[in-house]
Amino acid sequence: MLKRYWWRWLLGIGLLVGICWPAYTWSQANIKTLKNTGRTRMAPVIMVPGSSASQNRFDSLITELGKETPKKHSVLKLTVQTDGTIKYSGSIAANDNEPFIVIGFANNRDGKANIDKQAVWLNTAFKALVKTYHFNHFYALGHSNGGLIWTLFLERYLKESPKVHIDRLMTIASPYNMESTSTTAKTSMFKELYRYRTGLPESLTVYSIAGTENYTSDGTVPYNSVNYGKYIFQDQVKHFTEITVTGANTAHSDLPQNKQIVSLIRQYLLAETMPDKVRQKNAQRVQN
């Protein structure tokens, strides 16, 4: 009897799969949507330059990204004055969900005391941006001391904007142990960053890039100082990755617009789809 009507059983199973599969795929899509519920479409890429650099520091980088990236990003620049007021230039296009925002400081001098102040001024600018543009997640890029400013901000001040979270942070040649070349001596800047490291967002993904021709220095920042970042981020954030870039144009001031680093920014910070050959080259530079 079963053999006689085997085709009915087969038809029934086929109908059942035909009914259940669309329901399954819909449920999976719905779960993904629910996970993303509340995430604003806008997720700006916020850049902070290093000491002695203005809000124009990333112009060459932005130009290079414009040549390569399939997305066109509008650019807004802010300069925070010492009294907390902000000067703006540029604008964000109405349809741009991933604009570039550069935050500079009127007092852009070097030194721990100023870096501490700049982290507070970054918080002032950040709150103003959230109030104006109503985004609740973002990406961050910092060159040199800009990476230290971002780290302090994330450790101590992001919690003042509790509805906003950071997806990814990339730092370029950031001297977590300042000018020290030592593998053991710790500067007061490092000690502060280390002390407040538990304030870092646990879901954060961090990429720390060092540029060097000889694994000693990029001409300004010692390689060992950049390497100190691992003591701050490891075991505190979801992912921490060190990347070393060598070869031409790896002097400290050249790094933001270095073509290798532009490629890394596209792949790891902006999460763009890259050709397989480029992805493989980038992967070779990564140290977990």
Q: Which domains does the chain have, with CATH numbers?
A: 42-287 (3.40.50.1820)
Q: Would you state the pLDDT for residue 125?
A: 98
Q: Would you state the pLDDT for residue 22?
A: 46
Q: pLDDT exceeding 70 applies to what percent of the chain?
A: 82
- Give the model confidence (pLDDT) of 227-236 as tens digits: 999 999 999 9
Report CA-CA distances (Å) from 245 to 224, 226, 261, 274.
14, 12, 8, 18
Q: Would you state the pLDDT for residue 213?
A: 72
Average pLDDT in the 17-28 region? 47
Q: Would you state the pLDDT for residue 34?
A: 36
Q: Would you state the pLDDT for residue 276?
A: 67
Q: pLDDT exceeding 90 applies to what percent of the chain?
A: 68
Q: Would you state the pLDDT for residue 7?
A: 55
Angle between helices 112-133 and 145-156 (to 10 degrees): 60
Which residue would you say has higher pLDDT here, 250 or 65?
A: 65
Question: How far apart are the C-alpha atoms of 158 and 169, rounded to whole Å?
Answer: 13
pLDDT band at 5 (very low <50, low <70, confident <90, very high): low
Q: Would you state the pLDDT for residue 132?
A: 96
Please check the confidence at residue 33 and state whether its pLDDT lies above 50. no
Q: What is the mean pLDDT of the chain?
A: 87
Q: pTM of the prediction?
A: 0.84
- Give the model confidence (pLDDT) of 169-220 as tens digits: 999 999 999 999 999 999 999 999 999 999 999 999 999 999 887 778 878 8
Angle between helices 188-195 and 145-156 (to 10 degrees): 30
Dihedral sign, Cα of residue 188, residue 156, residue 106, residue 165: positive
Q: Would you state the pLDDT for residue 256?
A: 86
- Give the model confidence (pLDDT) of 112-142 as tens digits: 999 999 999 999 999 999 999 999 999 999 9
Name the residue type at position 44.
P
- Residues facing residue 48 across a β-bridge: 142
Angle between helices 112-133 and 188-195 (to 10 degrees): 40
- Give the model confidence (pLDDT) of 45-95 as tens digits: 999 999 999 899 999 999 999 887 777 899 999 999 999 999 999 999 988
